[in-house]
Structure 1
Amino acid sequence: MSRLTGNQESTAKGLTGMYAPTVPAREFTARSGDGVRFPVEVHGDAADPAVVLAHGWTCSTLFWAPVIRELTASGLRVVVYDQRGHGRSPAAATPQAYTTAMLADDLCAVLDVALEPGERAVIGGHSMGGMTLMAAAGRPQLAEHGAALMLCSTGAQHLTGQARVIPLRSERARHVAHRALLGASAPLGPVTPLTRKALAYGTLGPRPLPETAEATARIVHACPTGVRSAWGGVLAGLDLAAKVPYLKAPTAVVTGTRDRLTPLPHARRLAAMLPDCTGVHELEGRGHMTPLEEPGSVSAVLTGLARDHLTGATQGSAAATTMKESA
């Protein structure tokens, strides 16, 4: 039986090449603070150092396929899961139940089940996944397991006014327009040339590869409408700036220079607020979906963090392991 169900299985069939789904070596079941259970995938050898990844709004574990391939080839074990309501993770009972605390609860549940007590890992998040790490700042699980962090294509506050998807001159006008866009409850419908082009404009750089635009559209269109709208409402009012200084671990920031959803100033502000920023990696000409647009560069940042902060540490049930050289 396929591990994928419903919309996700249909979506996976249309993903090819480096975007084709990866098959996990193992699966666990995490139980979050509200009692909801959801699957956690582990890719790679159990003895290898661990990287835990949280995807963004309207995506799923399918989003990480090209990065998973890069990381496992470099001798890393990769843990991924679906954010609440995305992919195979159950939706919340009501739209009001979606909160940044839920994001943090679910990540902590993943760390509890997928890592051994005291095991250190590199933990990264893209977009809403990066906000998940910010929401979990100060949680004991993040302190215990987070040897280093990556915040990718994300921001801590003022998302709607500073976004550039709708290019209005006034920040106030952009705030109103983007707030309506994030909370929209209209179905996206099937992937067509028109919807693919519109989504690529908002989420990718100016000259995306056709296969990247196709993968982006298939993954985003698979997100349930109600889930997309509910989480969009959370993002519209997001303010996690006070949490960022509590991310004590060494943290790399990754951003696309043509990101319309979380433009470059967000990355620079995060870098200024972080206690230990290892650098801002600006991917020239890339948009918001940097792990799909340039998976090699995103993977290189994660591999570098693992090499600097995990090599020689005890990982899982294995004694000190030596990482393979990155391709």
Structure 2
Amino acid sequence: MSTPRTLTLPDGVQPVTLETDRGNFATLTAVPDVGTPLGTVLLVPGWTGSKEDFTPLVDHLARYGWRTVAVDQRGQYETPGPADPAAYTLAELGADVVAMSRALGGYSQLVGHSFGGLVAREAVLAEPSVFSTISLLCSGPAGFSDEVKRQGLEMLAFGLENLPIEQVYDLKLDHDSKAPQYVTPAGDIAAFLRSRFTGNTPASLAAMSRRLLDADDRTDKLAKTGVRAQVLYGESDDGWPLEIQDRMADALGVHAQVIADAGHSPAIEQPAITARLLTEFFHDR
């Protein structure tokens, strides 16, 4: 989960509903102030996240000349989703991203953060022709192997399947707040974090948690699609181990790029540097 530092949208970043042939998706969208956009950047958030995880990055990328669209996936925060767990397989979520790219004109520069990287990979595997590039930001090749993370995901998924989501959030907050590195967010941010979590369709969040347990490594298949790939992460990223992300980059034939003074949320922690690395990659033919 990424924690926004402000809820105020930069000038030019607007809530927009993206209509696709697989339903409507809530987005934060920005376009350059002048000139024709260089293309479209499509940003896919991760587990317990939302489009707000990218707010400052949306602004920076638009200033570089790109139409930029950050989305809530199906069942995530402000995008509704069904109660059927079968609606949240990686294949279904990836098909949504394909539909988004098509609705935006195709040839998107696709960026997946954390769990969103697994979804982005699935989208490229399903229909590589509608993507120009894929950037995997603080993401990994498969589900987590760390036993502590796996136990936490199992407990969360079980809770979401058996308890009111508000109670699950309270239990998670109580657990997280006991960690030494926990920082109590400001009142408006804390209210947003609760609203975002409890706004999820429980089946969606439970299924995403389980995909972080059972997702297969399909890196080799991604490498064969011909879609140019980028791997980048914060220097203190605590999601997938950095050596695992490095090995994924090697399998894709690229060098992982490290974002200084950032952890698992470079789009919030270092948006200017993250935007520069992304745009340099988009232009690097």
- TM class by smaller structure: 0.7 to 0.9
Please, what is the CA RMSD of the aligned residues?
Answer: 3.7
Distance in structure 2 (CA, Å) of the matches to 1:53 and 1:153: 13
Cross-structure match for 2:123? 136
Aligned ranges 1:207-222 → 2 under 5 Å: 214=189, 217=193, 221-222=197-198
Cross-structure match for 1:98? 88
CA contact (8 A) 1:134 1:247 kept: no
CA gap 1:200/1:110 in 2 versus in 1, 3 angstroms: farther
Shift of 1:66: 0.6
Cross-structure match for 1:318? none
CA contact (8 A) 1:262 1:288 kept: no
Q: Which stretch shows the higher mean deviation, 179-188 or 82-91? A: 179-188
Cross-structure match for 2:209? 232
Q: Secondary structure at the match of 1:157?
A: coil
* One-letter amino acid of the counterpart of residue 47, structure 1: T
Cross-structure match for 1:321? none
Q: Which of 295, 302, 307 is the matching residue for 2:278? A: 302
Cross-structure match for 2:248? 270
Cross-structure match for 2:141? 156
CA gap 1:30/1:219 in 2 versus in 1, 3 angstroms: same
Q: Secondary structure at the match of 1:137?
A: helix
Aligned ranges 1:125-204 → 2 under 5 Å: 125-140=112-127, 143-159=128-144, 161-162=145-146, 166=148, 175-181=150-156, 183-185=158-160, 187=165, 195=173, 198=176
Distance in structure 2 (CA, Å) of the matches to 1:128 and 1:286: 18
CA contact (8 A) 2:114 2:239 kept: no
Q: What residue ranges of structure 2 are gaps of 5+ in the alignment?
A: none
Q: Secondary structure at the match of 1:136?
A: helix
Query: Aligned pairs, how many?
Result: 272
Query: Deviations 1:187-222 (Å, cap 9, x if unpaired)?
Result: 466999x939927969xxx597967x9478457535
Q: Does 1:48 align with 2:26?
A: no
Shift of 1:122: 1.7
Distance in structure 1 (CA, Å) of the matches to 2:143 and 2:115: 14
Q: Does 1:69 align with 2:59?
A: yes
Query: Deviations 1:116-164 (Å, cap 9, x if unpaired)?
Result: xxx5332111012111121123333xx32322221001112241x237x
* One-letter amino acid of the counterpart of residue 56, structure 1: G
CA contact (8 A) 2:75 2:81 kept: yes
Q: Which of 3, 20, 23 is the matching residue for 2:14? A: 23
CA gap 1:219/1:298 in 2 versus in 1, 3 angstroms: farther
Q: What residue ranges of structure 1 are gaps of 5+ in the alignment?
A: 1-10, 167-173, 310-327
TM-score, normalised to structure 1, is 0.69
* One-letter amino acid of the counterpart of residue 81, structure 1: V
* One-letter amino acid of the counterpart of residue 13, structure 2: T
Distance in structure 1 (CA, Å) of the matches to 2:78 and 2:216: 28
CA gap 1:63/1:264 in 2 versus in 1, 3 angstroms: same
Distance in structure 2 (CA, Å) of the matches to 1:257 and 1:285: 7
Q: Which of 98, 104, 117 is the matching residue for 1:108? A: 98
TM-score, normalised to structure 2, is 0.78
Query: Deviations 1:7-37 (Å, cap 9, x if unpaired)?
Result: xxxx99x94357899315x6430122xxx44
Query: Deviations 1:50-99 (Å, cap 9, x if unpaired)?
Result: 21111112222222111011111221110222111013322124123310
Give the fraction of aligned pairs with identical amino acids, expressed as a percent: 22
